[in-house]
Chain A
């Protein structure tokens, strides 16, 4: 079955196509007017099994990090770094920048 599928993937060589009975020219609908040079040679087409190993587009398999760490915060796969990153981001971002920062801006003297 797999061999059959592989046959389906590969294009039929041109020499085998030439052995097929040809229709009269007047009845053919899809006769190509371009020469043989314009058709893609079978060797240029590669099936998926012929991709080089370590293909550059391959992504690492996706892992749900919540499975490994139920307390995942979205920062890092390492749980300790993840928690500390979350704490630092909230402390400097919310407690300092938003709260202290907006208090500072509120008490600035008016200008203009």
Chain B
């Protein structure tokens, strides 16, 4: 664990001591080496369920794919940010990279934490660099409002979680995840235990986000710069899913009754948010609502707590992380050229940038869960397990799949097909950097098609 965490922390002095001209190549190379080393985490040789452990940090089949995705995403964020950061003063470029690296460090510690308070502290710590990235480097005045929504939605959910964790520590004597699974389940009979259950899951449901408490997400994703959108969509939402999967083992037997309204909200949210996608005029907003829709499936799967649903949730989290990040990168290629996120203003791009259309096509196909992508594997497992839990859910999840396919095709056709707009007769050709960025998103997706069990958790 430390052989990845310490090089990540050493990225701080690398960023501040690198010569001005070579700052971005050096930090990109360093982060790619860390990403390469993180692939050793796929090696599984433990009988006790936890691997690569030390006193505070360990890994298991749930956190392992998320950790590797986190390490993979940093070089992609660095590559995506190079163009728009070129015109900034060098100090601000270093600060920007420092924020990305601090996010990476907090996320590694959050996913590998074996103790719930450490997880909570790292969960909260990720808010600060993200808030600074959104409010300082966002492009529109609405970024301030977006930062407020992002911060306060998450805090209102997570402060009760702190109380709940301290209560749990009081009753169990420990918050170590390693031993929690072996402790006697407490009899949660009191009315106050229901509040404790809600306090435990609310923070993660807000983070995921659950439909109903999702309003922070479109604002934050849209107003953030490209690296902010990538890390939000790919990793930070999954913190919510991961946290819920960790805490929910302690919440039985209350979950069987109390989860009902949240499962209903999650599944209904799939329909609502995917329908909203069909009416969006802002490209980044469309992708943001698409994330809410996919995370609704994940939330429903985690709340029903079956082996297949957990496997589907983990698979979909990883697959969605890669694809959603790729979609934001594609939207950014449009934005850097036209300085507009409006769908109507950047149409017919295929004529101007035909190679980028290939990436748009593949990414949209993966987003609509085309077989044999891991997106489909995750969605199938989740939909099957939800059907097993209640047959009626198939109506909503099936409708959700149809609408997902509709808006993914809509997004592709609106941006790529049709006549190119008169006000953008010539666009700067696609850069090698942009093609490489999308390759590095889609090649892992292709490789996961061949070996999906890597990201399926405990199967």
> A-side interface residues toward B, CB under 8 Å?
59-60, 64, 66, 72-78, 81, 84-86, 88-90, 92-94, 96-98, 100-102, 104-106, 108, 111-112
Is residue B410 contacting chain A, with contact meaning CB distance below 8 A? no
Which of these, A73, A75, A89, A100, contacts B36 with CB under 8 Å?
Answer: A100
| A85 and B28 form a contact (CB under 8 A) | yes
B59-106 contacts to A (CB < 8 Å)? 61, 72, 75, 79, 82-83, 86-87
A111 to B434: give the CA distance in the assembly, Å.
Answer: 37
Question: Is the pair B443, A76 in contact by a Cβ cutoff of 8 Å?
Answer: no
B39 with A72: CB separation less than 8 A: no
Contacts of A102 in B (CB 8 A): 447
Q: By the criterion CB–CB under 8 Å, are A81 and B433 in contact?
A: no
18 A-B residue pairs with Cβ-Cβ distance under 8 Å, sorted by A, are A73-B431, A76-B21, A76-B24, A76-B25, A81-B21, A85-B24, A89-B32, A90-B436, A93-B32, A94-B440, A96-B33, A97-B35, A98-B447, A101-B39, A102-B447, A105-B39, A108-B44, A112-B44
The A interface, classified by DSSP as helix, strand, loop or mixed, is helix
Interface centre among A74, A75, A76, A112 (most CB of B within 10 A): A74
- Whether the pair A97, B36 counts as a contact (CB closer than 8 A) is yes
Which A-chain residue is minimally distant from B337 (CB atoms)? Answer: A62
- Choose one: B33, B72, B439, B443; the contact of A92 (CB below 8 Å): B33
Docked complex: B421-436 residues within 8 A CB-CB of A = 428-429, 431-434, 436
* B459 proximal to A (CB < 8 A): yes
Q: Are A86 and B433 in contact (CB under 8 A)?
A: yes
In the complex where A85-B24, A94-B439 touch, is A74 in contact with B32 (Cβ < 8 A)? no
Chain B residues near A59: list those with CB within 8 A. Answer: 87
B82-A76 in contact (CB<8A): yes
Which of chain B's residues have a CB closer than 8 A to the CB of A81?
21-22, 25
What's the least CB distance linking B33 to chain A, in Å? 6
- Asked if B167 CB lies within 8 Å of chain A CBs, one says no
- Let me know if A93 and B440 touch, CB within 8 A: yes
Q: A89-B25, A92-B36 are in contact. List 20 more A-B contacts (CB 8 A).
A: A59-B87, A66-B429, A72-B431, A74-B433, A76-B25, A81-B25, A86-B432, A88-B28, A89-B29, A90-B436, A92-B29, A92-B33, A97-B72, A98-B443, A98-B447, A100-B36, A104-B39, A105-B451, A105-B454, A108-B43
Contact B21 A89 (CB under 8 A): no
> How far apart sit A73 and B437, CA to CA, in the bound complex (Å)?
12
- Complex partner residue of B86 from A77, A98, A101, CB under 8 angstroms: A77
When distances are taken between beta carbons in the complex, the residues of chain B under 8 Å from A98 are 440, 443-444, 447
Shortest distance between the CB of B86 and any CB in chain A (Å): 7
Whose C-beta in chain B lies nearest to the C-beta of A111? B44
**B residues in contact (CB < 8 Å) with A:** 21-22, 24-25, 28-29, 32-33, 35-36, 39-40, 42-45, 61, 72, 75, 79, 82-83, 86-87, 428-429, 431-434, 436, 439-440, 443-444, 447, 451, 454, 458-459
A78 → B minimal CB distance (Å)? 6
With beta carbons under 8 angstroms apart, the residue of B25, B36, B444, B447 that contacts A85 is B25
Q: Give the docked Cα–Cα distance between A108 and B36 (Å).
A: 15
Is A89 a contact partner of B42 (Cβ separation < 8 A)?
A: no
Q: What residues of A have a CB within 8 angstroms of the CB of B454 in the complex?
A: 105
Interfacial chain A residues near B28, Cβ < 8 Å = 85, 88-89, 92
Closest A residue to B428 by beta carbon equals: A64
B residues near A100, Cβ cutoff 8 Å: 36
Which chain B residues lie closer than 8 Å to A106 at the CB level? 451
Do B39 and A66 touch across chains, with their CB atoms under 8 A apart?
no
Measured CA separation A76–B25 after assembly (Å) = 9
How many angstroms between the C-alpha atoms of A94 and B432 in the bound complex? 13
Across-interface contacts of B440 in A (CB, < 8 A): 93-94, 97-98
Q: Which residues of A contact B443 (CB under 8 A)?
A: 94, 98
Closest to A78 in B: B21
Nearest-neighbor residue (CB-CB) of B39 within chain A: A101
Q: Are B24 and A112 in contact (CB under 8 A)?
A: no
A89 x B428 contact (CB < 8 A) = no
Chain A hits for B79, CB < 8 A: 89
Q: Which residue, of A64, A75, A86, A98, has the highest number of chain B Cβ atoms within 10 A? A: A75
Determine the distance from Cα of A100 to Cα of B32 in the docked complex, in whole angstroms: 13
A93 touches B33 (CB 8 A): no
Residue ID in chain A nearest B26 by CB atoms: A88
Contact B35 A75 (CB under 8 A): no
A75 cross-chain contacts in B, Cβ below 8 A: 24-25, 82, 431-433
A90 CB to nearest B CB, Å: 7
Is the CB–CB distance between A74 and B25 below 8 Å?
no
| Chain A: minimal CB distance from B69 (Å) | 13
Task: Point out the residues of chain A lying under 8 angstroms from B459, CB to CB.
Answer: 112
Give CA–CA (A74, B83) in the complex, Å: 7
B221 CB, nearest partner CB in chain A, Å: 23
With contact pairs A76-B82, A105-B42 given, residues A89 and B35 touching in the complex (Cβ less than 8 Å): no
